[in-house]
Chain A
């Protein structure tokens, strides 16, 4: 399998009143069809990493290559079009647009690209069945439970069949049952569609659903581990690395044994 996301010796420095080095010579790779988790304590640069892959931020030094495209070399406009076609996003705050119904939220990326209405309707009905939200299509986001809302957001991320899905703490605001739901959904999508998923998380349980977990600390690569036969032991190994990382205890706030 060939890599679809490549970061080579990437450094990101935020200039401002206080200069802040968010990433320092980090090298990162995700293969096609891989489900990768990025973990690290607060302030380790996880979100910066995700922003670089999202192409909404460019590195100070180093190269970023996403699906053979170098975001730095694209114009603002083409970058937007690139994001629109190749990337899908799932956020912690879910960020559904409140004035749109569930269905409209899902088709939003398609309307921007001028798909035909038949095509859009077909995709929505397929997706909503798969995500189990076909009964709530006419509801508004503020009428949904957290799990339903996040599934809708995943629907929005999937509807244009992106190659890469970027998830920022997708289970951060959910109760454990909904979180389990969402994670199983993501790994199912990863397996059947061969969609690459890169997920930033604090939660070792969430990370244990992935193929590989990359740990970063203070903007630098710290460690990585691959999954094994049993999720239980993978989870245990993730906990071991986290304790090595030496963050504060509240970084493990949501440790629950399955």
Chain B
């Protein structure tokens, strides 16, 4: 199994790691049992633009790299644009992922959607997009 240079770059120097206090939207997907959890924080301004975006991830190299890339792809975009982010766009931006790691990119997409859903709920907007099994909360 070989990671692309882009994956290794985002794994070694992940962009936007951390938390955002009082984030407008926070999403957690995955579960510890399977070995991947992604937590996505979004700061969203009055124009629905994602002004800042941070993540924390428990997982393999691909999980960290896809989280990092996802934050790069949605930062500065509107919420609507961010909802259009697909896992294949994340894979493409990383110059590919080994087949067994594709699920990491799916998690990254779901993490963004879960954070936006959280934002919608907070502002009383209807969640009008499908949420995958995003909320299987982890146990210790």
Whether both chains belong to one complex is answered with no
Residues of A within 8 A of B (CB): none
Residues of B within 8 A of A (CB): none
